[in-house]
Each structure stands twice: as C-alpha cells, then as structure tokens.
Amino acid sequence: MNSVLEVNDLTVELRGRQGAVTALDKVSLTLNAGETLAVVGESGCGKSLTALALMRLLPTPPARICGGEIWFERQNLATLPEGRMRRLRGNRVAMIFQDPMSSLNPVKTVGDQLSEVLRVHLGLTRRQAWKQGIALLERVHIPDPARRMDEYPHRLSGGMSQRVMIAMAIACKPAVLIADEPTTALDVTIQAQILALLRELQADTGMALMLITHDLGVVAAMARRVAVMYAGKIVEQASVPELFDTPLHPYTQGLLRATPTSGRPGERLLDIPGRVPALSALPKGCAFAARCRHAMPACAQQRPDLSELRREHHVACLAAEEDARAPAPRLANGGWRG
C-alpha cells in the first residue's frame, strides 16, 4: 500500500517549572492511503498530543518538537515554515477535535465558519462558499442544511455539532483526516451514526483516517491497524485481528482483559494494577515494568525499542522478545496470556 503519512522517531518535550520532560518518545507511525489506523491507550498516554504534533498545533512554549520527522507529500511537517503549514492544515491534512461544542466559535454561525474554510483554502467567493457549505451539511446528513447554516452552535445537539465539524474537516477533500475521540461525548446511538458517517466518507473519498480512541470496540469496528501507546511511547503495533487475537505486550493484554466482550451481565473485567507514572518521574527502564506481571530484572534497567517480533507485528517489550524465541500456543479466550 502507498503511505501518505510517515512519522519517524517523533519526540516532543514539555517545559515547565521543573524543567523539560519527554512527552512523546520516538513515536513512529505509517498511515497508508485509504486505511484507518487507530491509536489507543489510557488518558494521558500521548494520543492527543501526537495528533496535535502532527498538525503542528502544539503551544510553543511549553511544547516543542525536538526530534524526528513527519513526512507528508514529500515535505517534513516537523520543520515546515508556519506559513506553508497553515496552507496544508485544514486543507490536505484535517482534524476533528475531541469536543465539538468547544471547537466551534460560539459567536459565529455555522455557515460563517464553514464558508471561511472554503474561502481561505479554495478561494471561493462568499456566494460560492455558502452554496458549497449547504452541500457539505447535506453530505454529512444534517436535515434542512440551508436553515442550519444560519444557526449558532449553541442551537445544535452534540451529534449535530460533530457532523458540522466533520463537514468542515472534509470541505477541502483532505488526504489525511485525524479524528481525536470523535464519539466520546455522544450517546451510543449517535456514536454509531458518526462512525458510520466516517466509514461512508472514507469509502467515497479514499482519504486515510487516523482514529484516536480509548474504546477498543470502536477499533474493532473501524480500523485495519492499531498502535497502542503508553506513557508517550508506542508499545505495540499490529493489524487489528492480529492484536486482538495475539497481543504481545502485557499492557495491551491488560487493556483487552478490561474490555467487555460478551455483553452479559456479571461479566468479570480485570483492571491493570498501579498507575501510569508521571512524565517527570519515568523510570530508567520500561515505563510499564512496575505494573507488569511478566517484568524481569532487565526491564527496570533497559527501555525496550519497538521491534518486529512477528510479520508486521511490532512490540516494545523485553519479556515478549524472550517469549518470541519459543512458539506460543494460539489462545481462544481473546489472545491474552495468564
């Protein structure tokens, strides 16, 4: 498959009163044309920070990209001048933010905000942009789109606000769309509608979708590949069937144990003991070692790099590397060991 976005060893620092901390540690990702890549992990693991870094929307200071590359259309976005980045952002690379109610300007109508995107990036006249805006609202299945163009965001429901954000994001037919927790604040029925809309738009346009979520059910329904993050680092990458069937990293195994599978009342879920370490107090070795049932003495001293242990299945875990030397039986209970 042809890659449209390649991220190599992206490193981000946050500087505060206590000094600089590494918030993203050598994050590497590849997003192929037309595919959906899910990025998952607990709150605070670096998912949204990764998205903001790719869009060059990190507040500087306190954040800064201090290493790595972000290749898109033969340009390194990590070092691209802001003027050129502004022309790409919202045009060729677009993003749906986590909270649509706070992302829309409360003192501008839906039509004004949607038209602005079209006029800035496509050079349309006000009349052309307004007409195209109506078509976009219709495209994302908003009823009576002409009337909605004149309404202010507070008049919209959460699901409708998210549809407006999606319309703005796809207005310029981006090659890459980053969706940061696009269904978090919505009820289950509306969540399903938004996910179905994203699948429909992707099928029609061929855009690549990076889906940031903590919901493994969404991953199973939407994604082809998945990257698991922990404490600012990618600890596992694989295809969705491979990762769900044979998770190699103990953290991924813990996430799957904590995810409902049967939907039956009384189903027992297991939590991951301990807490995510603070970025200012990351251990010398593996950041997950203190919470890991498979930790070895070397895990406290050596920070593992992401390595390919199976075909297109990468993991950053010394215990998994040791297990890989001996073939493990395929498990029928969701793939996790123990």
Instruction: Determine phi and psi for 70, rounding to 5 degrees.
Output: -130, 100
Q: Are 183 and 194 in contact, with CB atoms under 8 Å apart?
A: yes
Q: How many CB atoms lie within 10 A of CB 42?
A: 18
Q: How far apart are CA 171 and CA 178, in angstroms?
A: 14
Q: How many CB atoms lie within 10 A of CB 16?
A: 11
Q: Which letter does DSSP use for residue 97 in this model? A: -
Q: What is the pLDDT of residue 180?
A: 94
| DSSP bridge partners of 17 | none
In a 3-state reduction of DSSP, which class is residue 176?
strand
Q: What is the pLDDT of residue 300?
A: 92
Q: What is the pLDDT of residue 265?
A: 60
Walking along the chain (338 residues) 10 residues at a time, the average pLDDT comes out as 91 89 94 96 91 94 94 95 94 90 91 95 95 96 96 93 95 95 85 93 94 92 96 96 94 89 63 86 92 92 91 93 65 42
Q: How far apart are CA 191 and CA 226, in angstroms?
A: 20
- Taking alpha carbons only, the member of 236, 167, 232, 210 closest to residue 72 is 210
- Taking alpha carbons only, the member of 234, 194, 260, 238 closest to residue 316 is 234
Residue pointed to by tokens 């395929």: 330
| DSSP bridge partners of 75 | 72
Pairing mode, if any, of strands 176-180 and 225-230? Answer: unpaired
Task: List strands edge to edge, sheet with 93-96.
Answer: 93-96, 176-180, 208-212, 36-40, 225-230, 233-239, 313-315, 307-310
Q: Could you give the count of Cα atoms lying within 13 Å of 36 in the half-sphere of its Cβ?
A: 22
The amino acid at residue 146 is A
| DSSP bridge partners of 177 | 94, 209
Domains and CATH numbers, the chain: 29-59+78-223 (3.40.50.300), 225-236+245-260+285-338 (no CATH)
Q: What is the pLDDT of residue 229?
A: 97
Kindly list the distances between the CA atom of residue 122 and the CA atoms of 87, 115, 204, 310, in Å, as whole numbers in the listed order: 10, 10, 20, 45
Q: What is the pLDDT of residue 264?
A: 55
**Residue 178, C-beta contacts closer than 8 angstroms, at least 6 positions apart:** 51, 54, 55, 93, 94, 95, 96, 209, 210, 212
Q: How far apart are CA 23 and CA 8, in angstroms?
A: 16
Q: How far apart are CA 287 and CA 231, in angstroms?
A: 7
Pairing mode, if any, of strands 233-239 and 225-230? Answer: antiparallel
Q: Are 315 and 307 in contact, with CB atoms under 8 Å apart?
A: yes
Q: What pTM did the predictor assign?
A: 0.90
| DSSP bridge partners of 65 | 12
Q: Are 221 and 214 in contact, with CB atoms under 8 Å apart?
A: no
In a 3-state reduction of DSSP, which class is residue 31?
strand
Q: What is the pLDDT of residue 63?
A: 93
Q: What is the pLDDT of residue 275?
A: 87
Q: What is the pLDDT of residue 331?
A: 43
